[in-house]
Copies of this chain bind each other. A is one copy, B any other.
Amino acid sequence: MTVSSQVDADSENSVFRRDCPSRDIFEHLTGRWSLLVLAALRPGSRRFHQLRDRIEGISEKMLSQTLRTLERDGLVERTVLPVRPPQVSYALTRLGEEAARHLCGLISWIGASAPEIRTARESWDNSR
Contacts and interface: CB of A to CB of B under 8 A. Distances in A.
Interface of A: 1, 3-7, 13, 15-18, 21-22, 25-27, 29-30, 32, 35-36, 39-40, 42, 54-57, 71-75, 95, 98-99, 102-114, 116-117, 119-121, 124-125
A106 B39 contact: no
Contact of A121 (B5, B17, B73): B73
Q: What does DSSP make chain A's interface, helix, strand, loop or mixed?
A: helix
Which of A55, A105, A106, A113 has the most CB atoms of chain B within a 10 A radius of its CB?
A106
B72 A120 contact: yes
23 contacts: A1-B111, A6-B108, A6-B110, A7-B42, A7-B107, A15-B36, A16-B36, A16-B55, A22-B110, A22-B114, A25-B114, A25-B117, A26-B30, A26-B110, A72-B120, A74-B116, A74-B119, A74-B121, A74-B124, A95-B113, A95-B117, A102-B102, A103-B106
A39 B103 CA distance: 17
Nearest to A103: B106
A79 B71 CA distance: 45
A91 to B, nearest CB: 15
A78 to B, nearest CB: 10
A37 B25 CA distance: 18
